[in-house]
Copies of this chain bind each other. A is one copy, B any other.
Amino acid sequence: MAGGIGSRFWPMSRTALPKQFLDILGTGQSLIQDTFARYSKLVPEENIYIITSKEYVQTVRQQLKSLPEKNILAEPSRKNTATCIAYIAFKLLQKNPDAVMMAAPADNHIPDIDAFLVTAKKALEFVDSINALVTIGIKPTSPNTGYGYIQHESPEAAPGVYEVKTFTEKPNLELAETFLASGDFLWNAGIFTWKVKNILAAFEKYLPEIYEVFYAEKEKFNTEEEAEALEIIYPQCTNISIDFGIMEKADNVFVIPASFAWSDLGTWNSAWENTEKDEHQNAVAGNNVVIVEANNCMVHVPNNKLVMLQGLEDYIIVDTKDVLLICKRDKEQEIKDYVAEIKRNKGEKYL
């Protein structure tokens, strides 16, 4: 799933080239390239589908040169994850009624591929045998208020698999600390696994309004009429997340606690956490940054720009060709508001 706009990573993430297509961590690879490399070790490349907005199809093609073109799926409009998953599920069902699928965001950061593969394979095997909707849960390492949490039952339903008790929205700090202390809460990574026919059964039950519009056009999938069908389907679909629309309601939801480190790279602070830092805890992406005196800063600037920093503590400094952002790290959640403010004052030009 690669249709997001990543506005909290503005001004690097822009409408024309959002976060998933950027080398946020300064590794030389964009996030979607990292993610594609990870899933390529799990399944053959021809079984990987990228669902994105139609304006990003060309970018996906450029960044994932080995992916077959027909595996890039263009959504006519942004309708959140439920519609996106219904689309691929209907498409796969036609190809193979027994297909198992995994749905994941294109912009997760999971440095340990081997550990990822262990958990992912376990999830695929588990759903192959029973009618279950599985989500991967991350063991929380801090009381992060930017993530949703999953509380699981105990004991295990199967080795390393737990039934889900509740999904929670992003908590406040106090609640997040309670979750962290309790030991039976996990971060919701948004990585889902199920048999295609089982998730479609859940759509039919919990989101029939989406199910029915897809069902009416299902013969057109994997034909030349697919794009035309989507133009009919998408405007009729509700904008709702798969979490809210199905996972929180279904009674066959399980969670597999992951054995790997994970970040959704949702904000500059998570980029800071996931970047190697200098001896003053500055995370610097940019080849030409001269730091006289700065601590705990997140610096992301073009390689060919000389940047001289002095007297800075806990700042996010992002420079691009046409936008410079300097703000305190604890204001990163406000960046979305700044972008809205810019839109009001300056129009779309800098978004």
- Residue numbers of A with Cβ under 8 A of B are 11, 288, 290, 292, 301, 304-312, 315, 317, 319, 322-328, 331, 334, 338, 341-342, 345-346, 349-350
Contacts and interface: CB of A to CB of B under 8 A. Distances in A.
6 contacts: A290-B338, A290-B341, A290-B346, A308-B323, A308-B338, A310-B334
Given A311-B315, A342-B306, A327 B290 contact: no
A273 to B, nearest CB: 20
Contacts of A324: 301, 305-308, 319, 324
B306 A338 contact: no
Contacts of A309: 326-327
Contacts of A315: 311
A288 B346 contact: yes
Contacts of A323: 305-308
B350 A327 contact: no
Contact of A327 (B292, B301, B334, B345): B292
B292 A311 contact: no
A327 B311 contact: yes
A310 B292 contact: no
A42 B326 CA distance: 45
B341 A312 contact: no
Contact of A326 (B288, B306, B310, B327): B310
A306 B327 contact: no
Contacts of A306: 11, 322-324, 342, 346, 349-350
A315 B288 CA distance: 21
A290 B345 contact: yes
A304 B323 CA distance: 9
Given A292-B341, A326-B326, 18 more contacts: A11-B306, A290-B338, A290-B342, A290-B346, A292-B334, A292-B338, A301-B324, A306-B322, A306-B349, A306-B350, A307-B326, A308-B323, A308-B325, A308-B326, A309-B326, A310-B331, A311-B331, A324-B324
Contact of A312 (B288, B290, B326, B350): B326
A350 B309 CA distance: 15
Contacts of A345: 290
A208 B350 CA distance: 62
A11, A288, A326, A349 — which one has the most chain B CB atoms within 10 A of its CB?
A326
Contact of A304 (B301, B317, B322, B328): B322
A95 to B, nearest CB: 46
A258 to B, nearest CB: 35
A42 to B, nearest CB: 40
A323, A327, A331 — which one has the most chain B CB atoms within 10 A of its CB?
A327
A342 B310 contact: no
B328 A305 contact: no
A304 B338 CA distance: 18
Contacts of A331: 310-311
